[in-house]
Amino acid sequence: MTKILFVYQFPMPFVMRDLKIVRDSFETKVIKWPKLRHKPFSTTINLFKGIKQTDAVFCWFASYHALVSVFFAKLLKKKSIIVTGGYDVVSIPEINYGVFRSPFKGRIVKWTLENADLVIPFSQYAEDQLSMRVKPKNTKMIYLTCETDKFKPNDSIPRENLVITVCRVSKDNISRKGLITFVEAAKKLPSLEFAIIGPHVDDSISYLSKIAPSNLKLTGYLPEDELIKWYQRAKVYCQLSYEEGEGAGGVLGEGMASGCVPVISEKAISLKETAKNSGIYIPYGDVEKTVEAISKALKLYPGMKNRVREEVLVFSREKRKKELIKAIYEIF
């Protein structure tokens, strides 16, 4: 049986879904790569041993752990696979985002991706950004999966005039996720309830708390079962981002699967791959257009709640599993 070493840094839901797919299909060892200041030498030794004992190394994102993994894989004549598509394939200086803003880091990522045996972008947008900067040996775009069996409407929970967005609350995400626009829209719609849901990772929450109106809640981190209930209560899901990499497996897909009408920034191109014609699109940072779009979404909700869910049913776990396993086998 083919043996895979699965290497990742952060236990994001879509990363953990891929780990389950790999575990279900291959004999799998796992390494969670720590922050560089936490035992980098011992982890690197374990990585070398793990690659030596397996047939291929599977990395999520083209960061330092992927660089070392690809180097060891070439040295040991093993196969290497990288899933990529967000920060690691773009350069967006206006919001200080993307590894290719740095020529030095960009060269490292370029070498990593060009020497991997298989690179798997997770959206068409990610593949387009990748091809602008890198010439990998072999690429296969495979959409992330949307957990529609978990994220779904619940008729026993009454829908409210509630508008939500979900993200990590951090300094870099204030601009990238359009959080100021979301706050300002809440101020102009005082009869509605708003919520920013997600962990507070730095002191940016202090700033948002100061400018937030009384009808906006900052919930902090919520366990998945509680998050699902918020989706099921809300009528509108906002993704007002400047930039996103994924097309299906993120929070937009979760909101749509739960029956929320999506209000989306047209600047974040990848989101169109998920919402298609069901999204209400607004210019990034335009508060007035956002307010109009939210009001429109509330009116359209009764007739759109089923349609928006249908848009994301195509991003099934089984489809990604089938395509991912096939792509892995093809490199041997």
286 in the same domain as 179: yes
The mean pLDDT value for 224-238 works out to 97
CB neighbours of residue 24 within 10 Å? 10
DSSP count for the chain of H helices, then E strands: 13, 11
In a domain? residue 156: no
pLDDT in tens, 85-114: 999 999 999 999 999 999 999 999 999 999
Looking at residue 267, its pLDDT comes to: 96
326 in the same domain as 279: no
Query: Which secondary-structure segment (H or E) carries 220?
Result: strand 216-220
Q: At what angle do helices 64-76 and 40-52 cross, to 10 degrees?
A: 40
pLDDT in tens, 289-316: 999 999 999 999 999 999 999 999 999 8
CB neighbours of residue 221 within 10 Å? 13
pLDDT in tens, 112-122: 999 999 999 99
Query: Which secondary-structure segment (H or E) carries 30?
Result: strand 27-32
242 in the same domain as 101: no
62 in the same domain as 7: yes
57 in the same domain as 189: no
Terminal CA-CA length for the chain: 13
Token reading at 304? 């759109």
In a domain? residue 141: yes
The mean pLDDT value for 219-248 works out to 94
How far are the Cα atoms of 115, 119, 176, 210 from residue 243, in angstroms, in the given order? Answer: 27, 21, 6, 25
Looking at residue 41, its pLDDT comes to: 78
Sheet-wide strand order for 3-8: 27-32, 3-8, 56-60, 79-84, 118-121
User: How far from chain centre, in Å, is Cα 201?
Assistant: 17
Mean model confidence pLDDT for the chain: 95
268 in the same domain as 182: yes
Q: Is 70 exceeded by the pLDDT of residue 134?
A: yes
Provide the domain count of the chain.
2
Looking at residue 249, its pLDDT comes to: 74
The mean pLDDT value for 174-197 works out to 97
284 in the same domain as 175: yes
CB neighbours of residue 102 within 10 Å? 12
Looking at residue 1, its pLDDT comes to: 84
Q: What is the CATH number of the domain that holds 55?
A: 3.40.50.2000
189 in the same domain as 85: no
Q: What is the pTM of this model?
A: 0.92
In a domain? residue 169: yes
C-alpha to C-alpha distance for 175 and 94, rounded to whole angstroms = 10
In a domain? residue 98: yes
166 in the same domain as 123: no
One-letter amino acid at 187 equals: K
In a domain? residue 157: no
166 in the same domain as 111: no
Q: Which domain range does residue 231 map to?
A: 162-312
Token reading at 158? 């009454």
In a domain? residue 297: yes
The mean pLDDT value for 249-278 works out to 94
C-alpha to C-alpha distance for 166 and 162, rounded to whole angstroms = 13
CA-nearest of 192, 160, 148 to 293 is 192
C-alpha to C-alpha distance for 115 and 5, rounded to whole angstroms = 17
251 in the same domain as 196: yes
307 in the same domain as 166: yes
pLDDT in tens, 21-74: 999 999 999 999 987 656 677 889 999 999 999 999 999 999 999 999 999 999
In a domain? residue 154: no
Beta bridge partners of 194: 163, 216
C-alpha to C-alpha distance for 84 and 130, rounded to whole angstroms = 9
Q: Which single residue is written with the structure tokens 């202090």?
A: 206
In a domain? residue 151: no
Query: Which secondary-structure segment (H or E) carries 183?
Result: helix 179-188
One-letter amino acid at 221 equals: Y
